[in-house]
Amino acid sequence: MAKLNLKKILIVITCLISIAILVDKAIIPWIFDPVKKLEQATANRKKQINNLNKLKKQADQNRKYLAKLNTKSFANNTAEAIALMGEHLTKIIKQCKLNETEFSRRPFEPKAIVKNGPKPIGYIVSGAGSLKKVTDLLFLLQNDLHIKRIENIALSPISGTTNVRVNFQFISLVIGTKYGSFKGTNTLPDKPIIKSKSRDLYAGITKRALFLPYQKKAPLPPTQKKKPKSNRVPPPGPETYKVVSLSQWKGQQEIMIFNTIKNETKSYKLGDSLAGGKIVMIDYRQIPFPKKPDLLSQSRVILSIKNNYWAIERGNTMADIYKLTLEQLPQKLIKGKL
């Protein structure tokens, strides 16, 4: 039997190792890497398609919402909307029994919120009348079902009279029909209703006699001490306190909270404590109600509670307080939080 040649054995082993390395490092990747790349590209495309489908679904929902919201606009084009908006404003001034000739209504073009989106239109309104009638006017405009917003409300006394002067901006949107037509029925009432429980909450504004000189309250007559009752009345809950007004006068913001049990209204300022937190601002952006996204809220009071921001919409009670996400915060608070 011939002896094995050690040199040949080493050459064969070296060749086999080289072939194995070549197969592992070159041939196998050459075969399988394109397959992996195709699988990864397929997964990325599926993810992109899913994202596009989600965006399409959200866009369809937004178009339907805007089409429904368009039924609350004054008209589908700017010129007609401004004209009808002015007529509507005049109608409400007359409904409050104010003198139309004492009110100026000047059209102006507010800054657009979204480029190529719904076009904002508005009127700068200035006029005078009794505090009660002016309050009626602001109440009706705030509760009008049209797409609208009232900004920069300012009240000032007129010297020598009991009347007040009011200035504000009445703003709306022209959405148009480019988002489609609403299929249902959404007819608005011809006139908003002034006699309602909501209007009664504004009575505190006139009862406070804001512009009359201060008069010291007469002392109450002494009363006999009553024996304490044995039945304890539970403390009032957060649903007792309702946000009825978020106004601004001479640059000062004011929050009016109505106690439904005591039937009285209390005023709060920025920095005051409320609902377990501190009042940081009044937000006048027009956004949907948290529990009723089909209805738009015109304003809300924002509180700081334990390093988070919470909000109560105007017209809601403290029981309806909700935590704001980062996307819901006004730009001023986002900058402070970041």
pLDDT in tens, 106-131: 999 888 877 878 899 999 999 999 98
Looking at the structure, do residues 242 and 330 belong to the same domain, yes or no? yes
Query: Is the domain of 272 the same as that of 283?
Result: yes
pLDDT of residue 15: 80
Same domain flag for 150 and 77: yes
Of the candidates 168, 176, 106, the one whose C-alpha atom is nearest the C-alpha of residue 142 is 168
Q: In whole angstroms, give the CA distance from residue 24 to residue 144.
A: 76
If pLDDT is split at 50, 70 and 90, which confidence band does 19 have? confident
By C-alpha distance, which of 197, 170, 195, 175 is closest to 186?
A: 175
Q: Is residue 279 part of a domain?
A: yes
Q: Residues 236, 312, 289, 309: is their CA dihedral positive or negative?
A: negative
Q: Is the pLDDT at 182 greater than 70, yes or no?
A: no
Mean pLDDT of 237-247: 85
The pLDDT value recorded for residue 191 is: 61
Residues 98 and 138 in one domain: yes
**For tokens 């505090």, what's the residue?**
131
Neighbours of 279 (CB within 10 A): 19
Beta-bridge partner residues of 123: 107, 170
Residue 150 lies in a domain: yes
> Is pLDDT at 306 greater than 90 in this prediction?
no
Residue 256 has pLDDT above 90, yes or no: no
pLDDT of residue 180 exceeding 80, the answer is no
Q: What is the pLDDT of residue 264?
A: 87
Q: Domain span at residue 149?
A: 73-175
Q: Are residues 60 and 105 in the same domain?
A: no
Average pLDDT across the chain, whole number: 80
Co-location of 67 and 79 in the same domain: no
pTM exceeds 0.85, yes or no? no
Residue 1: what pLDDT?
Answer: 43
Mean pLDDT of 149-162: 86
Same domain for 285 and 331, yes or no, is yes
* pLDDT, mean of residues 265-274: 89
Query: What average pLDDT does range 297-307 have in this prediction?
Result: 88
The reported pLDDT for the residue numbered 287 is: 84
What local confidence, expressed as pLDDT, does residue 32 receive?
Answer: 66
Q: Residue 204 falls within a domain, yes or no?
A: no
